[in-house]
Structure formats: C-alpha cells, structure tokens
Amino acid sequence: MLKCLLKRKRTHYYLQKGENQLDKAEIIGLFQKVAENPGWQARQWKEERKGKIIGFLLTDVPEELIHAAGFLPYGICGGQNRLDSAIAHLQNWACSYVRSSLALALERKLDFLDGLIIPQPCDTTRMVLGIWQHASPLPFLQNFRLPRQVNRPSAREYLIGELAQLKEQLEIYRGARISNEELRNSIKLYNNNRSLLRKLYLIHEQNPEILSTKVLYTLIKGSMLMPREKVNELLTKLLKALEGETSPSGNDHIRLIISGTILEPFELLDYLDEGGGVIVGDDLQNGFRYIEGDVKEDVDPLEALADRQLNRIPFAGYDLERNPRRFFLSKMAVQKKARGVIFLHLKHCEPENYDYYDNAQALEKAGIPSIRIETEFGITSLGQILTRIQAFLELLGGK
C-alpha cells in the first residue's frame, strides 16, 4: 500500500511541476512511470482532449496514419499479467505476447482504447482479429496485411494498396478525409522522434554510464505510449541535459547484440548493466527496429510509408533476399565489435525458432559467441534467465 501511495505521489508531482521544468532525472523518472503504468498518459490524454485512442500490436503499423487522423497511437507492449483469462480464446502454444495483450483487454486494462490495428507477421496475428472482436469488441478493429515476399516488384504496389485501405477505414471512422498535409505533418513528427531516439541510442552505445541499457529501452517504450509531441519535447530536453556529460568510461564493457521479436522481460536489462554489458545493436520490435529508418518527406506519403516498411532491417517475419537476416546479424555484430549475441526468443514463436539455426551458424563462422534465452510473457522464470546471462557474461570476460 505504501509503495502504491508513493507512486501516486510521484506521478502527481510530475503533473503539477510540468514537463517544461523537469530536469534529466525527472524526465527519465517520468518515462519510467509511464513504462510501469502504461495506460496512465493515454487516459490523461483522453480525458483532456476527449479524443480517440487506437492501439496497435507491435510494431509494423504506420502510426503516422493514426496520428494524421487525429487519434492517439498506443503501442500495446504486453504486460506482467497472468494469461489465464486468454486461455479460453487462444491456445497455450500461441504467441504469449498476443495472449498477454488479449488478457490485458479482457481484464479491462485497455478500456481506454477505441480501436486496434493488428499487423500480420505470423500465424497467431493472422487469426486473432476475429477472436479479439468476439472477446473484447471495439468500435474500430482492422488487420494490416503486409507482403511476405517483399523482394517481388509487386510487393510495393500491394503494400501501397493496403496503406490506402487502412487510411480509408481511418477516414470512415474519423468522419473526414485525411489530407496529404496532415499526413506529411505526422510523418515529420515521427521522423523527428526516431531521430531523437537514435541519438540517445548512440549516446548509450558510446557511454553507457550516462545512459544505461534499462533507461534507453524505457525511453523507447515510453515513446510508444505517450503523445508524440510531448515525447519529442521531453527527449529534446533530455538530449540537451546530456550534452557535455562525461564519465570515466573505459573500454571494459562487454559489447552485446540482442536479437529477437520483443524485449521481455525488461528486468534482465538491470542485470546486463550490473554485469558490465552494453547493448550496441538489436533488431527488436521495441528496440532499434522501431526507430531505424525515416519516411521520405518529399514524395507521395503513402509511397514513402511503403518504402520505409520494405527497407526496414530484417526480422523473423520478413527475411530479405537482398539482406538475409543471418548475414545481417553477423555483419552487425562484426561492425559493432560485439563480443557476443543474445537471442531473446518468445516461446512458441515459430518464425524465430525457424531462423535460429541459420543465425547461430552465421555467428559461429564469424567467431562470435551466442546464447539463446527463451522467455514467455507472464510466466518467465527470471532467476533461471539471470543465471544463464551471468554465465554468458563470464564466458565473455565480464564481471
């Protein structure tokens, strides 16, 4: 009870003081509060703006379209909740991220949502829309179908068509057309956000004492949960506060790559920090893959959104012939001078399991050690994970 009251008191303090007056520690603290209580800022925005909130499953959803329609995009990041309520609707072998997200909805922890967009990179996401609509109906519920064979010339045309269809559905729900000017303004806003987060990512890579692994990924997660205008203001102030900061950082950190679908559980980042690890690259949907690459601002907006999607770094759902994931990972590890790679795989994630052998073989040929850690939302044994991480760091010469 006391811990809960202290959290409420700190949250009230942030709201009363105002974002413009927050210093570095307070900005980071605000993002941490949002990460710990994801619905807080969304509910506040809804109450103040009387607007609509459209959620999305991570992460290949064009948030710019949602924002241009005047809605607040909200990235559903799963939770530490039990998955019992979802068992009646989804099999135990279905992706635990999707089961956790559905469980949040069934427990009314997503009751502020007016709609949901589900991208379709795997079997679970392809089947879940009808289940979600039956179990937790929403006024706006749409699939976002993505081309699997992205190297085909027809993939671009197909994706532009899917973007146009999603735009049309958002316009129908909005009751008005989305102008090109509105969409370009949203693209510019989101490009700025990605740029700010990439700068923070680089600061962490070069000097982790100034910006820890846990803080970096908390900033990325918070960006998915808050109005992007507010996020950009806070990140700009944070970058300014970090200017000129130095630390006695040496070269004794263990440079690591994390590969997988979603970073879960977040607690393992504390242990990486304590063990001397520093993440210098990843392909996570709530990591660097979310912030890499921008949308061109001087061409047709839908074509620009399609081009960014088709040229994003590869992941298990969409492997590229021109940039195979196994070679991409090993190349990134070599370029970043990583000493090891941690595969963080969600249990029952078939695309990740299918890719693992080729990825591990490519890293072995490059002389880079790797370890595979299997996690599951709501069920993961953190103790076992930390024991394995500790052994891996010691193998690489850590603390």
Overall average pLDDT of the 349-364 stretch: 90
CATH number at residue 87: 3.40.50.11890
Among 205, 197, 168, 146, residue whose Cα is nearest residue 335: 205
pLDDT of residue 18: 57
In a domain, 133, yes or no: yes
Residue 218 to residue 279: CA distance in whole angstroms? 14
Q: What is the pLDDT of residues 208-261, one digit of tens each?
A: 999 999 999 999 999 999 999 999 999 999 999 998 787 665 567 999 999 999
Q: Is residue 372 part of a domain?
A: no
Are β-strands 72-76 and 115-119 bridged in parallel, bridged antiparallel, or unpaired? unpaired
399 confidence band (pLDDT: 50, 70, 90) = low
Residue 380 has pLDDT above 60, yes or no: yes
Q: Report yes or no on 157 lying in a domain.
A: yes
Residue 12, pLDDT > 50, answer: no
Domain count, the chain: 1
Average pLDDT over residues 54-68: 95
Q: Is residue 335 domain-resident? A: no
Rounded to an integer, the average pLDDT of 350-377 is 92
pLDDT average, residue stretch 325-339 = 92
Q: What is the pLDDT of residue 251?
A: 60
Q: Is the pLDDT confidence value at 78 over 80?
A: yes
Percent of the chain past pLDDT 90, that is, above it, reads 67
pTM of the entire structure?
0.91
Residue with tokens 């695309």: 351
Question: Residue 153: inside a domain, yes or no?
Answer: yes
Integer Cα distance of 330 and 89 in angstroms:
39
Residue 115: inside a domain: yes
Q: Note the pLDDT tens digit of each residue in 17-28.
A: 555 568 999 999
pLDDT tens profile 91-133: 888 888 999 999 999 999 999 999 999 998 888 888 899 999 9
Is 79 part of a structural domain of the chain?
yes
Higher-confidence residue: 30 or 274?
30
Residues of the domain holding 65:
2-182
User: Is 243 part of a structural domain of the chain?
Assistant: no
